[in-house]
Amino acid sequence: MSPIERARGAIGARFLLHGRCVAHGLDCVGLAGLAYGIAVPRGYALRGGRVAQVIAAAEAAGLVRVDDARVGDLLLLNAGAGQLHLAIASETGVIHADAALRRVVERPGVPPWPELARWRLKED
């Protein structure tokens, strides 16, 4: 199953900070871990993430940083003052764990947050 298929399977799951499974809830980091089948950190704050730390963690997990856009890419977004956010690119927008809506949703259109980095699984 591809990352986009796994992310779509989580749509509707409730938002839970540090959540790691569809049944109990997911946050954006948990959704990324589920979609890409990678281990992800715990114990972080909702705000105050560091870009360099997220980039290092993604690359340590085996994701490859890319510049071109494809469906299924993992996006690092600047969601506000001190707030980083992860989302998975879809054909029409992004799939992400939306704290305001309290659910994993597919948001149409270009995300309203600046993109800081983009990764995908290493191609064989």
At 53 the pLDDT is 85
pLDDT at 48: 66
The pLDDT, as a whole number, for residue 111 is: 93
Q: Is residue 89 a contact partner of residue 69, using CB atoms and an 8 Å limit?
A: yes
Q: Within 13 Å of residue 101, how many CA atoms lie on the same side as its CB?
A: 14
What was the pLDDT predicted at 124?
Answer: 43
pLDDT at 46: 62
Secondary structure class of 25 (helix, strand, coil): strand
What's the pLDDT at 24?
A: 97
User: pTM score, two decimals?
Assistant: 0.92
> 10-residue block means of pLDDT along the chain (124 residues)?
96 96 96 93 69 87 94 94 91 96 97 95 72
Domains of the chain: 3-121 (3.90.1720.10)
What phi and psi values does residue 120 have, to the nearest 5 degrees?
A: -150, 170
